[in-house]
Amino acid sequence: MAATVYFLLLLAFGYGALAIFLYFYQPRLLYLPGLPTRELVATPKQIGLEYQEIRITTQDDVALSGWFLPHQQPRATLLFLHGNAGNISHRLESLDIFHRLELAVLIIDYRGYGQSSGRPSEEGTYQDAAAALRYLGQRGVPPDQVVVFGRSLGAPIAAWLASREPVAALIVESAFASAPQIAAKLYPWLPVRWLTRFRYDTAGYAAKTSSPVLVIHSLEDEIIPFEQGRIVYDSLKGKSEFLELSGGHNDGFLVSGARYSNGIDRFLTAHVDH
């Protein structure tokens, strides 16, 4: 009997210690700027694309690094908000696809990523996106000519921005519905809804936008389950479309090939082109 009680106490202690660890170390688990590296390992020049290195200062005085890729006859300008690992130099395939879709592109690294200063936080990433949109305005590109694109972690950031500004369109790819929802799905044995310090409410923010929305998700996504994308889509009230891909979380847009690029093209033709 004593051994059983001791075992149960030990188990409870371990469970509590794990919960405390997860609560306080969430930022290090969520933000992965050093995976694989913060160093810029390539540039658009290596795939034949013209680009400009840019610096943006946020309202809380954080210096962000990014690239602006012009297009001779852009149908719109795409603001690219990437996922939680790596930096802008790991997104060359996407930049090439967007260029072929006749989009000018602004891609930024969040604070603490790549060559950007500061440390990442939920509010900080929102401020980073807002600063990027203001930068485009300074270049003469108003919000109603901007397509905000967010992949994975970038999805709730993009949705937040689109809920506050009258952008031309919102595209979210490989999105989770909210941080508590995806945490509960991935760790059902932990009380994550109480432990989660982040909200990142993609579905809630997307539901508030008046802009057309394209939700993109792969049925084979091994990190963010397909149903998370459907939850985001089902929350929408206005003009919205769903594009189903094949392939994994990090390569679905490549594996799907023409289905991916043609799907985005159809959406832009229907809702953005004038």
Interior angle at CA 129, CA 224 and CA 159, nearest 5: 45
Comparing C-alpha atoms, which of 170, 168, 152, 151 is closest to residue 160? 170
Q: Strands, E, within 188-239: which ranges?
A: 213-218
Catalytic residue among 116, 240, 249, 256: 249
Q: State the Cα–Cα distance between residues 25 and 206, nearest whole angstrom.
A: 28
- Give kind and range of the element (H or E) at residue 67: strand 63-69
* Residue 152 annotated in active site: yes
| Residue 221 among the catalytic residues | yes
- Give alpha helix (H) positions in 31-103: 92-100
Of 147, 155, 67, 158, nearest to 101 by C-alpha is 147
Q: Which of 221, 235, 240, 256 is catalytic?
A: 221
Query: Pick from 80, 75, 36, 34: which is nearest to 54 by CA?
Result: 80
How would you classify the pairing of strands 76-81 and 240-245? unpaired
Q: Does 109 participate in catalysis according to the annotation?
A: no
Q: Are strands 146-151 and 76-81 parallel, antiparallel or unpaired?
A: parallel
Of 65, 94, 116, 152, which one is the catalytic site residue?
152
Q: At 161, is the secondary structure helix, strand, or coil?
A: helix
What is the identity of the amino acid at 83? G
Q: Which residues are catalytic?
A: 152, 221, 249
